[in-house]
């Protein structure tokens, strides 16, 4: 992993940690609202509003996705990062849809998360989401933007880790093949082979020298016999 990969890993870990903490805070807030609704005597007899479930579901899913993303960035696991990327992609789509509804047509929230005819829930939503001073749509859009940025970072980190793993596998394969070649070279006794080659060369040279010596002796004897033959023929009557 190069410098770019390390920067992606640090950025992904930081963003995942920040978004995980904010998601846990949102989930805790939803649980607090749920417990308060159930424990309050004036509200315990009424059905739990849908916005409490909405807050807990968004906070829980975002917490799980960011936790998996943080674990993938720390462990450099391409599989874990792939799961977190796809999970966070679904979470980002949900947050984006919610932010668009809050910004463009917040009245839809009433029919989705409030029980039918529950004026208290609708009035509370009017104060929470429709009041311009609350800026709920802008806040959700900012959170969605941060989550989308973290999603892009984790996706790039996943691709960089996968490429690094492929390069590491190729290097390991090349090193293994090189190690096998080195092992074969080490197991092959080159000194012994060299000594055997020199011994064979010496024997060939010795045989050639002996053959040359024998040929020289034969030639010398033949020449001596040829020189002695005329003198014998002259002495004969």
Which pLDDT belongs to residue 48? 72
Which pLDDT belongs to residue 183? 57
Question: Within this chain, do residues 113 and 86 fall inside the same structural domain, yes or no?
Answer: yes
Question: Within this chain, do residues 79 and 178 fall inside the same structural domain, yes or no?
Answer: yes
Q: Which residues constitute the domain of residue 211?
A: 189-222
Which pLDDT belongs to residue 67? 86
Please check whether residue 237 lies inside any domain of the structure.
no
Question: Within this chain, do residues 115 and 173 fall inside the same structural domain, yes or no?
Answer: yes
Question: Within this chain, do residues 13 and 59 fall inside the same structural domain, yes or no?
Answer: yes
Please check whether residue 71 lies inside any domain of the structure.
yes
**Alpha helices (runs of H) in the chain, residue ranges in sequence order:** 3-39, 50-75, 78-104, 108-113, 119-125, 136-187, 190-235
Residues 13-34 pLDDT 10s: 788 888 888 888 878 887 887 8
User: Could you tell me which of 103, 98, 100 has the C-alpha nearest to residue 113?
Assistant: 98
Helices 3-39 and 136-187: crossing angle in degrees, nearest 10, is 140
Please check whether residue 83 lies inside any domain of the structure.
yes
Question: Within this chain, do residues 70 and 165 fall inside the same structural domain, yes or no?
Answer: yes
Please check whether residue 234 lies inside any domain of the structure.
no
Question: Within this chain, do residues 104 and 195 fall inside the same structural domain, yes or no?
Answer: no
User: Could you tell me which of 54, 152, 53, 66 has the C-alpha nearest to residue 102?
Assistant: 54
End of a domain among 140, 162, 185?
Answer: 185
Question: Within this chain, do residues 17 and 86 fall inside the same structural domain, yes or no?
Answer: yes
Please check whether residue 109 lies inside any domain of the structure.
yes
Question: Within this chain, do residues 37 and 141 fall inside the same structural domain, yes or no?
Answer: yes
Question: Within this chain, do residues 136 and 202 fall inside the same structural domain, yes or no?
Answer: no
Please check whether residue 232 lies inside any domain of the structure.
no
78/163 Cα distance (integer angstroms): 10
Question: Within this chain, do residues 37 and 140 fall inside the same structural domain, yes or no?
Answer: yes
Question: Within this chain, do residues 167 and 211 fall inside the same structural domain, yes or no?
Answer: no
Question: Within this chain, do residues 40 and 139 fall inside the same structural domain, yes or no?
Answer: yes
Which pLDDT belongs to residue 82? 80
Which residues, given as ranges, of the chain have pLDDT below 70?
A: 1-5, 42-43, 49-51, 102-103, 105-140, 165-191, 214, 217-219, 222-223, 225-237
Which pLDDT belongs to residue 234? 44
Please check whether residue 228 lies inside any domain of the structure.
no
Which pLDDT belongs to residue 167? 65
Which pLDDT belongs to residue 236? 47
Please check whether residue 159 lies inside any domain of the structure.
yes
- Is residue 137 within 8 Å of 103, Cβ to Cβ? yes
User: Could you tell me which of 56, 78, 81 has the C-alpha nearest to residue 67?
Assistant: 81
Question: In total, how many domains does the chain have?
Answer: 2
């Amino acid at each position: 992993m190069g410098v770019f990969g390390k920067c992606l890993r640090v950025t992904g870990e930081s963003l995942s940690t920040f978004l995980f903490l904010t998601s846990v805070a949102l989930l805790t807030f939803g649980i607090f609202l749920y417990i308060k609704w159930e424990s309050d005597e004036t509200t315990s007899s009424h059905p739990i509003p849908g916005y409490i479930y909405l807050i807990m579901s968004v906070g829980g899913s975002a917490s799980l996705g960011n936790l998996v993303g943080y674990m993938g960035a720390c462990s450099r696991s391409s599989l874990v990062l792939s799961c977190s990327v796809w999970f966070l992609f679904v979470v980002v789509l949900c947050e984006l849809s919610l932010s668009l509804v809050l910004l463009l047509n917040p009245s839809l929230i009433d029919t989705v998360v409030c029980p039918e005819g529950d004026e208290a829930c609708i009035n509370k939503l009017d104060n929470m989401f429709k009041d311009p001073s609350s800026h709920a749509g802008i806040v959700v859009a900012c959170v969605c933007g941060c989550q989308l940025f973290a999603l892009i970072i984790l996706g790039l980190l996943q691709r960089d880790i996968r490429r690094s793993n492929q390069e590491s596998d190729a290097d390991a394969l090349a090193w293994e093949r090189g190690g096998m070649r080195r092992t074969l070279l080490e197991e092959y006794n080159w000194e012994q082979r060299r000594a055997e080659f020199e011994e064979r060369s010496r024997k060939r040279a010795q045989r050639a020298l002996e053959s040359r010596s024998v040929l020289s002796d034969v030639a010398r004897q033949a020449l001596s016999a040829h020189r002695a033959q005329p003198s014998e023929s002259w002495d004969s009557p």
